[in-house]
Chain A
Amino acid sequence: MSPEMFDENVYYRSNSRKVSLTIVFLVLAVLTAFFSIFLSKIGDLSFEATWEILKAHLSGTSVDNEIHDLVVWEYNVPRAIMGLFVGAGLAVGGAVMQALMRNPLADPYTTGVASGASLGAVMFFTMGISLLSLDNYTLATTTNALILSMIPTMAIVLISQHKHITPTTMILAGIAIMYVFRAATSLMMFVADPESVEEAYIWSVGTLGSASWDNIWFVAGSVTVISVLLLLVSNQVTIMTAGDRSASTMGVWAKPLRIICLLLIAIMTAIMVSFTGTIGFMGLVAPHIARVFVGSNMRYLIPCSAALGSLILIGADCLAKTISMTGMPVGVITSIIGGPIFIILLIKGAKKVWF
């Protein structure tokens, strides 16, 4: 009596289920983003008035109330779009970093990449220093952020070559780097013009409030392009979770792949951070929740993390908008959610928490 051969359709069906779940999360994220446009306490805007303004813009007619128009179309709509893309970008960055470093605690925030970018941006905000001597506001902050985010990225590449580095040591190194950059950031705020400090502070906590039609394209474009690139190498990244040695015996060019992916993530992070500040722990939480639904195959984990990242960040932003009149920085909410999850992961290790 020979046992039955494995029915491959079981595998294909399980993959289809993962795709369906991801689509569900994506639809939820978009619906939540749409809902968030209606959440506004400024200028006694009613739901109906917001709806009218949206309809007017989509049909190309003019809007009577200019203040309402400003709030809805120039402020809330870009903010919702920004939230979708930044949530996705941070989550994709986290998911790929975790796999490449085989470290459940890694994300752009805990490895110091975001803090490096943050310091670069604040440098231009408060002191007007551009490392490449650029005058353009957007270009100067972004290039500063990019250059300084390379420091922790290179540190990760170098540290990860060492054989005896444990995942926890690696993250402690990242947190140490983060503190140094934070101290430098604080110092700049201390000596800066008091008026720019409040803005810089809100930004350093992480906010979607600075979104506008002018800047969301940078974020949307870079997140889309880089996420697609990472998705293209997702099978290779999955194999990297078997370790560098095994991966290379299975035909993966391990070291270059890691460096290229980390550079792409640093570029994406620097661009996001330039416009939103450091939104904490998003890249940590979203991939771990996604793993519960779709497992650790990067081909499915990257899209699902992106959808969940969008959903969580937009959800947190709705909360932030509801809690305070002026709109609390969303980074406060994500840190309140993410901090405890980080501590649980640190103590228990990812396996015991999620699997």
Chain B
Amino acid sequence: MQSVTVDGVDFAYGSGELILKDVTIDIRNPQLISIIGPNGVGKSTLIHCMNRILTPRKGTVMVDDVNVEEYKVKELAKKMGYVPYSANDTFPLTVVDTILMGRNPHRKWKSLHDDMQVVKEVLEMMDITPLAMRPFNELSAGQHQRVMLARGLAQEPEILLLDEPTANLDIRHQMDVIRLLKQLSVKRGIVVIMISHDLNIAAKYSDNIIMMSEGTIYAVGKPVDVITPESVKAVYGVDTDVVLSDGRPHMMIRDHGFSEEDAATPEGSTVSGVTTSGMNG
């Protein structure tokens, strides 16, 4: 059974300030895990330490109980996939070629035909079949996101790390992607670890949530235990009401200090209502 174990990890760029401070976490069994926390608390850094993009200053990272440093690059890529937040498109490829990159760890001399079957499947899963032969740079931000996800899925990893997979997506595609990730964890037995800024989506679908604050882990556990008005206030500094819906926490922002007068327009300017009158249709 797959596992990711982070043990006493400190990380800093060069001799700079510590971004991760003595982080310890043990992830086992197929599940969907969300890492939440404000900007700049080290969520991406933690993920990058897990997949060896960054090397911790202190502590160890184990994947399937083997130190991550000991893996050959292709072996690690077979175990662990990564979907970055943004994609580079200096030299854009077609969507198919971009997704085929993900097949690299599995690729053999004559395996293109087999690899194409996987590509076809993930094109369907991500709802981007009609875009297959389009150049990457002609796509919208949301379409980029889905192509990057497809690339990660084509890699067929046992552990999938995702950096804000639902950013840039409309609500329907957000739902589709999260449901898909949840399904992967259940049906294919994959450990899915994603960074999320949408606490309600994280709460609704995650099996466990890791809440980070200033380079440390503030809380770990079931959504209902982690997302509370107290923890959200402590970590984000925002007042919220949390209600339970289907046994899952649902958070609503409470901002009683805000009134319409605070947002009043400066004197002399007028703001007209937004209407559709006079427009076509």
Contact = CB atoms under 8 A, between A and B. Distances in A.
A complexed with B = yes
Interface of A: 3-6, 8, 10-11, 14, 98-99, 102-104, 167, 235-236, 238-239, 241-243, 245-246, 248-253, 291, 295-297, 350-351, 355
10 contacts: A102-B88, A103-B90, A104-B90, A235-B107, A246-B84, A248-B77, A249-B51, A251-B104, A297-B94, A351-B137
Interface string B122-137: 0110000110110101
B133 A14 contact: yes
Given A10-B132, A102-B88, A251 B105 contact: yes
Nearest to A3: B129
Given A3-B130, A6-B120, A102-B88, A238 B101 contact: yes
B94 to A, nearest CB: 7
B132 A11 contact: yes
Interface residues of B, number: 41
B88 A241 contact: yes
Contacts, number: 106
A351 B135 CA distance: 12
B208 to A, nearest CB: 23
Contacts of B132: 6, 10-11
Interface string B145-167: 00000000001000000000000
A296 B93 contact: yes
B42 interface: no
Contact of B97 (A246, A250, A297): A297
B263 interface: no
B54 to A, nearest CB: 9
A245 B51 CA distance: 10
B222 interface: no
Contacts of B88: 102, 241-243, 246
Contacts of B51: 249
Contact of A249 (B81, B96, B124, B137): B81
Contacts of A248: 52-53, 73, 77
B74 interface: yes
B116 interface: yes
B191 interface: no
Contacts of B137: 351, 355
Contacts of A239: 101, 104
B74 A251 contact: yes
A8 B120 contact: yes
A31 to B, nearest CB: 30
A250 B124 contact: no
Contacts of A14: 94, 133
Nearest to B155: A250
Given A11-B132, A252-B73, A295 B53 contact: no
A58 to B, nearest CB: 39
Nearest to A5: B120
Given A250-B104, A351-B89, 14 more contacts: A6-B120, A11-B116, A14-B94, A98-B91, A238-B93, A241-B88, A241-B91, A241-B93, A243-B84, A250-B105, A253-B73, A295-B97, A350-B91, A351-B137
Nearest to B106: A251
A297 B101 CA distance: 10
Contacts of A296: 91-93
B4 interface: no
A348 to B, nearest CB: 13
A295 B94 contact: yes
A355 B133 contact: no
Contacts of B80: 249
Given A98-B91, A243-B88, A238 B97 contact: yes
Greatest chain A CB density within 10 A among B76, B78, B93 is at B93
B120 A250 contact: no
B119 interface: yes
A235 B107 CA distance: 10
